A and B are shown apart, each in its own frame.
Chain A
Amino acid sequence: MRENLLHFIPELVLIGTILVLFLAAFLASAQQRLFPQIAFVGLLMMLLANYGSRDLPAIHFFSGMVTYDALGHFFKYIFGLVGLMGIIFSHQSAELEKADLPSYYTLIIALILGMVLLATASNLLMIYLSLEMVSVLSYILTGYLRGVRRSSEAALKYVIYGGVASGMMAYGFSLLYGLTGSMDLTTMAQYLGANPASRSLLYVGVLFSMAGFGYKVAAFPFHMWCPDVYEGAPTPFTAILSVGPKAAGFAVLIRFFLTALTHSSASGDFIDFKDTGWPEMIAILSIATMTLGNLTALVQSNIKRLLAYSSIAHAGYMLMGLAALNNEAVRAVLFYLVVYAVMNLGAFLVVIIISNRLGTEQIEDYKGLGHRGSLGLLLAVAMTIFLFSLTGVPPLAGFIGKFYLFGAVVRAGLYPLAIIGVLNSVISLYYYVRVIKLMFFDQPADASPLSLPVVSHSYVVSGLAILTVYFGLFWNGLAALTERSAKLLF
């Protein structure tokens, strides 16, 4: 039992942080500045604890409910860093001015805990519970701007879609349980490997389960909540939402498919037990997701909605990589998640600064941003880097990410998928470039130089932009990290 808790220290630190935040809310609720600081320190300690646990052996613990392995370890870093970024983004946000800050930060930390549990869950029950935990907290945070109509509306939509999706997932899980007699992913795999169970039932069970996962990563046809929620939620939370739960969704997708439904062959590729055609199924989902995301993004006029559809498209790209189900696939998805987190958070931070400063989320209002003083130029150049990186143009990180994804797909021989994928990249260029065009080619309606409300934000924007370029040129370290992390405990 002591051993188990040693593996669980990062999670325990998060729980401790939540308790401290509770206490602080009672004792010092007037000290508004205290709460982000507590949350920030808590996350830093969680990252440190995670670093400290890097050499522990991989095990299943808590009766096989939770797994400690390289993959989970990697995702804890991601969630911790995304959480830190989220706290920085929320700092002095104009939207959150009137909100109840103590509970806001408590909810954020609880959300991180939920995502960590989701990424390490190795039992269908645990997957369901942690997924619900992430969902419920997301609903609350989306509707956090009390009295703002679109925030409440978004939260309600989110709840309804989420309820349907998790209901379908629970049904899928029950079918899988009925089929294999177990909730544990590893035991399921052993059963499926040894017994010729009905293929069609397995197929139905997996499809229904996909509802829950697809809803978390915003994949077709469970993406409908995404634009409304992104638009309605407070922007700092939207930034977290666009990266964190999506990463958690991919973590659970990887674990579910690679642990329960396939076995690894001698060459390291994953082969499904019954020739059920998982690659084809994921490929179809991926094509639908990216094409829909990209085509719909073409006509958006709100920058948050544009980024919402772009995030749907990116879920499609990552599903494309996953469809390869080979050695490179997991590595590519992990790699892409990291660069996606960097560039997408950067883009959202620019959106937050603009919305704090100019009070607008309309793409039209980005007109001539590059001509508005040195801050305007900085924001416009950084945004350009993020958007080109999202398109996948070298020498930026997004290109390397796509390079890995397409590499996995080409190696698996899924050429039609690869061709559709690259055509989608070309389509996406059009809407990203529209924003860039407005920022540089057009003259601003109001040419006064921008001033910055929060100085630290401009450092963070520059840092993320530099990181985007850096990973585009020297990604050896990141590649090595993802290679180490792409190891699951079966």
Chain B
Amino acid sequence: MHFPYLSFMTFFPLVGMLIIGLMPSHRADCIKKVALFTTLPPLVAAIGLLMHFDKANAGLQLFEGPYAWIPAFHIQYYMGVDGLSLVMLLLTALVCPICILASWGIEKSPKGYFALFLLLDSAMMGVFSSLDFFLFYVFWEVMLLPMYFLIGIWGGPRREYAAVKFFLYTLLGSVLMLLVMLAFYFYSDGNTFNLVTLANQQTHLGPLKGEHFRHLCWLGLFIGFAIKIPAFPFHTWLPDAHVEAPTAISVILAAVLLKMGIYGILRICYPILPDATVHFGTLMAVIGVINIVYGALCAMAQKDFKKLIAYSSISHMGFCLLGMSSFTPEGLNGTVLQMFNHGTITAQLFLLVGVIYDRAHHRDLEGFGGMAQIMPRYSAMTAFAFFAALGLPGLSGFVSEVLCFLGGFRSFPIITVISVSGVVLTAAYMLWTYQRVFLGQVNEKYKAFSDITARELTTLIPLVIIVVVLGVYPSYILDLMNPTLVALGKTLTDLKIAGL
């Protein structure tokens, strides 16, 4: 019996939420400290998880359960990790304390804000550790509620529109997932929601009715996950949500929530419906290239700093789609590494936008100029993040993009060649943005701005270190997930070859 790391990481934030709920609402400082100290133990637990994790084992491990939860419907409390979920849990555990620090300036009812934030934290951990589809679904949906309020109450001027749009889009996706979940349940041997059992039943060989039915199921799941990624054409909620959300919530949204779409596809679609996945591989690749190029072009046209980064996220998630659709070990490793790297890099970008927004109270790219002379340290940090985002060799983003392209090229040469143009476009809008904001004529209005503060730097430094380390030596992360992803890719490649 090992320490229940996963349950601890999932439910400890709830304890913090209860404590905050009982505190008087005027003790804002205390509430912030409690929130910060509730997100640190899960980070420690994540490191403990890392220590206990057997890297050589490709399968799931460190199980908790299965314990019967609702025996009448064979619903279980069942958690476990493999290389894929471990990486995502590490990312979540790392980003949450950073976001609490980034929210230090929240003035409007901090009690509600931090309580909801911790609920969100708990649900995110739950999604990445669940091995029971029903449990997964409950955590997946629970995430929506705090997110809706966090955007809707603490957001920008059009927050209500953005919050409702976010909620409606994601709910649409998840109800389709609900139907597929029920179909899995009723057509599985022995009626189960257990993801491991579902994956082992080899649906392509018999159960789960006909081929068309499996394709329908796959599409239902894919739409649900694609909305979260967000993949074209379901991406329109993201720029709105990002622009209106407060800084820390944008960070969570970009760094963790978007990853859940890809994670869901890799955890549920790939192992349970392998033949349908192979069938729709090209579709995913095409959506991926549209995301890359279209997202980059949209980013180039933006005048709002935050919207630009939102579109760059869409573009970067396209690399993940391209990599995973290749089913090659390189592509899959690239995808998951890209998820992690995008999490760390985009988190920095949103934090940096937050820094300038707190001072100028606007994000209009044309409204700045020459900031490098006023805020030199801030400009240096931004330059670093921009270079990481555009995939400069030596920084982590480069490694994952190259892996995605390597994998993609083996399966879809033409699509990959088109995608590579995305790299050029990314460099173009990033550099152009940098030029508009930081170089050129100094804007007299902002002469008095103070440079980046120690607290703001504290939120950035850990991310910077990770980006550099993984840029030089990506094996730290790759070794964790490689066996899992190689095994996953092998099943699909075998099927693909057999199909041809």
Contact = CB atoms under 8 A, between A and B. Distances in A.
Interface string A379-396: 000000000100101110
Nearest to B134: A403
Most buried by A among B137, B138, B153: B138
B138 A430 contact: no
Contacts of B179: 406, 410, 415, 418-419, 422
Interface stretch (A10-18, A60-68, A170-178, A474-482): A474-482
Contact of B178 (A406, A441, A479, A483): A406
A437 B70 CA distance: 33
Contact of A480 (B72, B138, B176): B72
Interface string B213-245: 000100000000000000000000000000000
Contact of A410 (B71, B167, B186): B186
A433 interface: yes
B225 to A, nearest CB: 16
B159 interface: yes
Interface in B343-402: none
Contact of B141 (A399, A406, A422, A440): A399
A407 interface: yes
Contacts of A407: 73, 182, 185-186
Contacts, number: 77
Interface stretch (B58-66, B144-152, B447-455): B144-152
B47 interface: no
Contact of A426 (B137, B160, B175): B175
Contacts of A422: 175-176, 178-179
Interface residues of A, number: 30
B34 interface: no
Contact of A394 (B137, B182, B183): B137
A346 B208 CA distance: 41
Contact of A441 (B152, B171, B172, B182): B152
A411 interface: yes
B186 A483 contact: no
B72 A394 contact: no
Contacts of B142: 394-395
A393 B182 contact: no
B138 to A, nearest CB: 4
Contact of A437 (B71, B160, B172, B186): B160
Contacts of A475: 70
Interface in B166-216: 167-168, 171-172, 175-176, 178-179, 182-183, 185-186, 216
Contacts of A403: 178, 182
A271 to B, nearest CB: 19
Interface string B119-151: 000000000000000000110011011001100
Contacts of B159: 441
B71 to A, nearest CB: 7
A154 B142 CA distance: 40
B478 interface: no
Interface string A403-438: 100110011000100110011011001100100010
Contacts of B186: 407, 410-411
B187 to A, nearest CB: 9
Contacts of B176: 419, 422
B164 interface: yes
Contacts of A423: 172, 175
Interface string B67-84: 000111100000000000
A476 B72 contact: yes
A426 B138 contact: no
A418 B216 CA distance: 13
Given A433-B164, A437-B160, A394 B141 contact: yes
A437 B145 contact: no
B70 A426 contact: no
Interface string A93-136: 00000000000000000000000000000000000000000000
> For A388, A393, A423, A430, which residue has the most chain B Cβ atoms within 10 angstroms?
A393
Contacts of A441: 152-153, 159-160, 163
Contacts of B149: 440
Contacts of B144: 393
Contacts of A399: 141
A422 B178 CA distance: 9
A406 B182 contact: yes
Contacts of A393: 141, 144-145, 171
Given A410-B179, A425-B171, A441-B160, 15 more contacts: A393-B144, A394-B142, A406-B179, A410-B182, A411-B182, A415-B216, A418-B179, A422-B175, A422-B176, A422-B178, A423-B175, A440-B153, A441-B163, A474-B70, A483-B72
List the 9 shortest-distance A-B pairs measured between CB atoms, nearest first: A422-B175, A410-B182, A479-B72, A394-B138, A394-B141, A426-B172, A411-B186, A441-B152, A407-B182
22 contacts: A393-B171, A394-B141, A406-B179, A407-B73, A410-B186, A411-B182, A418-B179, A419-B179, A423-B172, A425-B171, A426-B171, A426-B175, A429-B171, A433-B164, A437-B160, A441-B160, A441-B163, A474-B70, A476-B72, A479-B72, A479-B73, A480-B72
